[in-house]
Structure 1
C-alpha cells in the first residue's frame, strides 16, 4: 500500500483542481453539423433560410441568419472557429460566414469577389487577403483564431491537433480591438450572391474544442475496419 504525506495529498489535490479549472475554461460556444434543420447547440433559433440536407446547408443568392444563445465578446477570451466551406466557381461573386453584433456585421470570413482569395475583415480593418484561391467549387476547411487584438487564418491545414501543428497562418493581422461596435456578437450569417455551402461550423475557446468530432458515418466505418483487422489476426 502506498502511503502519502499530507503535502503529497495536498499537491495532488491542487493539481486536480488546476486540471479541472483548465477543462472548465475550455468551452464550445456554438456548433452545427447540419444533420437536420434543428441540429446544433449554442443557438436560440434555427437558420432562417437555406436548404439543409446530407450534413450541410446550401444558400443560393441569399442570406441565412441564426441567433446565438449567449453573446460572445472576444476581448475577454480566445475565439476559435472551424468551418468547412464551399463557394461556387464565379470569382466575381462574394460568399462569407459573418458574425454580427446586433444588426452590424462585425466580422466576415470568406471572399468578397474582388480577389478570388480566402480572406477576412471587420469594420476596423481592410480586407486581409490570403494567397489561396477560393472560388473553386471544392470544400475548404477554414480555421480562424481571434484573441481580441489579433487574427490568424489557416486554409486546409494538414494537422489541427495543436496550435503548433497548424504552422504559420495563411493570413495574420494584429491591431486594435476587432469588435469596433463595442457590442457582443449575437448572431451568425451565412450569405452569398452566388452559392455557398457549409458542412460543419464550430466555435470554441480552444482549438481542441473547435476541432469537429468524427461523424457517425466515419465512426461506423472505423469500427468496420477495426473488426476486419481483428478477424484477420
Structure 2
C-alpha cells in the first residue's frame, strides 16, 4: 500500500522522529513508484533542495519492487541517464571532495559482471573521471573512483563471492566522509579505502565518461533498482542500519525524520507543498 504525506502534514506532528534518517543534505530521491516513472522519465521526489533532478531514457518501465514498484533495469534501455553536462553530473551525482552518500536497492538473477551504478566510470579499463560500482562475475563488488583527468584512480573490490545475495534484493550504500570511502553491502562494510583530502571524484569536459545511470551494461535477467537516494553528507552507521533494517528494509521516506518546526518554516510554502511518497 502506498501512502502520500506532505511536509505540511509532518509539521503538524510532534518534534519526535518517525525514523532515524535525517533529510539533511538530501540531494535527490527516486522511489521508482509507477506514478513517478513514465516511458521516458524518472521524477525526483525530493525538491527540498530547490532542484528536481530527473533522469530519462526510452523505454522505461516498472516491475514489482522491494517497496511497491521498482525500475526494470533488465535491459540497457531501462537504465535511466542524467543530462550530459559535466557541471550537472558533478553537482548532483558525484561527491567531488565533500561528504556524500548514495543508497539504493537492486537485484538480478546472475552475477555476470556489469555495472550497478555509475556517474562517469570507465569501460573496458579505459580512463575516465567519476565513480562506478560494478558487480563482478565472482559475486564481489568493485568500487572505482577517479579524478576528473582520469589519471588518478582508486579501485577496490570485496573480492570474495557471497557478499552479493543472488537474485534477492541487495542494499548498496556508498559513503564518503572526509578521507574515508566505504561501500556497504547488505548492512555491512564490504570495502573501506582512504583518499587524500583533495581527491576529487568528478568528471570534466575533454575526458571520456558516462552519464549518471542506475542499471546494467546489457540485458540481465530479472534486474531491477528501487528506492535510490543521494545525500550531500555522510550517512551514519545507524542510518544505514535503519535503511537496511535487517534485510527487511525501510524506504527512505519511511525512515526519514520529521523536520523540526523551525526547519519546516525555512522551507517556505514551496517546501510545504512537497510530496514524499511513503510506501508500505
Q: Same fold (TM over 0.5)?
A: yes
Distance 1:120 1:48, change over 3 A: farther
- SS of aligned partner of 1:133: coil
Distance 1:130 1:190, change over 3 A: same
Residue of 69, 74, 81 corresponding to 2:95: 74
Higher helix share: 1
> What's the offset of the Cα at 1:217?
4.2
Residue of 167, 188, 197 corresponding to 1:137: 167
Distance 1:45 1:96, change over 3 A: closer
User: For each residue in 1:132-155, what CA deviation from the matched residue of structure 2 results, as whole angstroms up to 9, or x when unmatched?
Assistant: 432601101111102364310111
Structure 1, unaligned runs of 5 or more: 1-24, 158-167, 219-233
User: For each residue in 1:74-124, what CA deviation from the matched residue of structure 2 results, as whole angstroms up to 9, or x when unmatched?
Assistant: 2442101111111222x33323111238xx5621124132x2113311241
User: For each residue in 1:41-100, what CA deviation from the matched residue of structure 2 results, as whole angstroms up to 9, or x when unmatched?
Assistant: 4414434444224421112241523326672452442101111111222x3332311123
Please tell me the root mean square deviation across aligned C-alpha atoms, in Å.
3.4
Supply the distance in 2 between the matched residues of 1:94 and 1:83 (Cα, whole angstroms).
16
Supply the distance in 2 between the matched residues of 1:27 and 1:92 (Cα, whole angstroms).
34
- SS of aligned partner of 2:131: strand
Higher-Rg member (1/2)? 1
Check whether the contact 1:88–1:137 (CA below 8 A) recurs between aligned residues.
Answer: yes
TM-score (norm 1): 0.62
Residue of 117, 121, 133 corresponding to 1:97: 117
The alignment covers a number of residue pairs equal to 180
Distance 1:83 1:156, change over 3 A: same
Pairing 1:58–2:72 present: yes
Pairing 1:83–2:82 present: no
Check whether the contact 2:117–2:213 (CA below 8 A) recurs between aligned residues.
Answer: yes
TM-score (norm 2): 0.53
Partner of 1:221: none
Distance 1:48 1:122, change over 3 A: farther
Supply the distance in 1 between the matched residues of 2:201 and 2:28 (Cα, whole angstroms).
19
Residue of 30, 47, 53 corresponding to 1:43: 53
User: For each residue in 1:159-214, what CA deviation from the matched residue of structure 2 results, as whole angstroms up to 9, or x when unmatched?
Assistant: xxxxxxxxx6221011341526467x995212323243111100112327885112
Check whether the contact 1:151–1:172 (CA below 8 A) recurs between aligned residues.
Answer: yes
- SS of aligned partner of 1:213: helix
Residue of 107, 112, 116 corresponding to 2:139: 116
Partner of 1:179: 201
Check whether the contact 2:105–2:227 (CA below 8 A) recurs between aligned residues.
Answer: yes
